[in-house]
Amino acid sequence: MTIYHMADLAAGRRTKLKEINIKNITIPHFEGLKMETMLEYAALYPQVMKALPAVQREREKLPRQYLANVIYTIIGEPFKKWVEAKVNERHDLRREQEDQI
């Protein structure tokens, strides 16, 4: 978190999340669940983007787990289902590759 994001939080230009309200989610390190993909998903939800730094370069430097937890805290079950769908896609692809061998 940079001083610019902190200044935006203090000024009320960004949404603050209380630690007590944060939900944790475990995201496996799969191809379809990279930071870029999660940021693309988050871009569909203005309320999530308002909780993240305004500058894209700053968002890209966030810890992966922090990003996942912020999205999950705000979006909830739809994000969890999206992650599960990505995991299932990856597993299906692996099965297909193994069947071809």
Contact 53, 62 (CB under 8 A): yes
- pLDDT for the residue numbered 19: 86
pLDDT 10s digits, 8-66: 778 888 888 888 899 999 999 988 899 999 999 999 999 999 999 988 888 888 999 99
- pLDDT for the residue numbered 11: 82
From 26, 32, 37, 41, select the one nearest 91 (Cα to Cα).
32
CA angle 82, 53, 38 (to 5 degrees): 20
In angstroms, rounded to a whole number, what is the distance separating the alpha carbons of residues 70 and 62?
11
Residue spans of the domains in the chain: they are 3-100
Instruction: Give the Cβ contact number of residue 75 at 10 Å.
Output: 19
- pLDDT for the residue numbered 95: 87
From 59, 50, 44, 46, select the one nearest 14 (Cα to Cα).
50
